Amino acid sequence: MQMEKTRLRIAVQKKGRLADETFALLKATGLTIKENKGGLFYRIKNLPIDLLLVRDDDIPGFVFDGVADLGIVGANVYEEYALNNNNQRRAQCIQELGFSHCNLCLALPNTEGYADLNDFNNKTIATSYPNILQTYFKKGGISASTLEMHGSVEVAPKLGIADAICDIVSSGATLEANGLQNVKTIFSSQALLLKTTKALSTEKKDTITKLLSRFEGVRQSKETKYIMMNAPRSALPALTKLLPGAEAPTVMHLEGQKDSIAIHAVCRESVFWETMESLKTAGASSILVLPIEKMLA
Ligand code: PRP
Ligand code: ZN
């Protein structure tokens, strides 16, 4: 594969849970993606970026080898790949992306009892993550064998080829459908933005800086809300204290009403129903909470 000097190459999952959320993030970041169904690359029209569409398990390797400059992949896949390569880290995580949260868990058939980790001694555990699992067992002084499987790990106990499994749990539906119980979380995961440790051109570095600032803007605007309310002027100090993560609010007078004001503020933390109820108790009325589409600090 010929290396591009100016266009940044980002490895992303072709299809799957991670892919959907990755594309949603890239679109929210303002990238215009020119899809090329079945192709290996998608070109971005408004920034010098190409997306390399691959299996998630292949993403760390591509970033380690510099075939891709960046990669978006689950921490579980990154960790397993690094441990499998003598714990080398030829890619650094430059941002936790806050989506695709899931846990790597040990699960047993519902019919089995569970006391503690020692129950796994001398057992066979089916998993796609033998390195993470064995590292965890080693720390806990457990000796067990792993049966490496790629896909349909949850059927292993039913087939009689393993006593337990160690697999990704998100909603828990897969475990439930297969008569398995989650007994121990061994690794918590979310999507990571990886960057190769190979040297990059100035053009590519500039694109990464721009991209990171936009990712941060997307993350902030998700949590940040614009809040508006009316209130008696005397309630202003109490209301300001209640506004979550807001800097100096904007205060406006209300036409024809001497003692009432309108308060507008940007809240950088979640605004819950409880917060709105407290504002109301402190004197606010007509409380509106609006989403913020884009932010640039
Ligand atoms: C994981 C895991 C289960 C499923 C669990 O696969 O292997 O099949 O998700 O999710 P649930 O708890 O919501 O039912 P994943 O989607 O990560 O795909 P991959 O391992 O094949 O890449
Ligand atoms: Zn996978």
Mean pLDDT on 109-137: 97
CA 288 to chain centre: 29
Question: What residues pair up with 164 in beta bridges, in sequence order?
Answer: 125
- 165 is written with which tokens? 């499994």
At which residue do the structure tokens 């691959």 appear? Answer: 54
Q: Check the CA dihedral 138-140-142-145 and report its sign.
A: negative
How does pLDDT run across 145-175, given as a tens digit for each residue?
999 999 999 999 999 999 999 999 999 999 9
Q: 173 C-alpha vs ligand 1 centroid, how far in Å?
A: 10
Q: 110 C-alpha vs ligand 1 centroid, how far in Å?
A: 19
Identify the pLDDT of residue 228: 96
Q: 56 C-alpha vs ligand 2 centroid, how far in Å?
A: 5
Probe target for ligand 1 pocket from 103, 149, 155, 168, with the most ligand atoms within 8 Å of CB: 168
How does pLDDT run across 54-74, given as a tens digit for each residue?
999 999 999 999 999 999 999
- Concatenating the DSSP letter of every residue in 95-107 gives EE-S-S-EEEEEE
Angle between helices 17-28 and 202-223 (to 10 degrees): 100
Evaluate whether 104 touches 166 at the Cβ level (below 8 Å).
yes
Q: Which residues line ligand 1 (CB under 6 A)?
A: 16-17, 56, 151, 167-174
**Whose C-alpha lies nearest to ligand 1, atom 7?**
168
Rounded Cα distance between 131 and 138, Å, is 10
Q: 153 C-alpha vs ligand 1 centroid, how far in Å?
A: 10
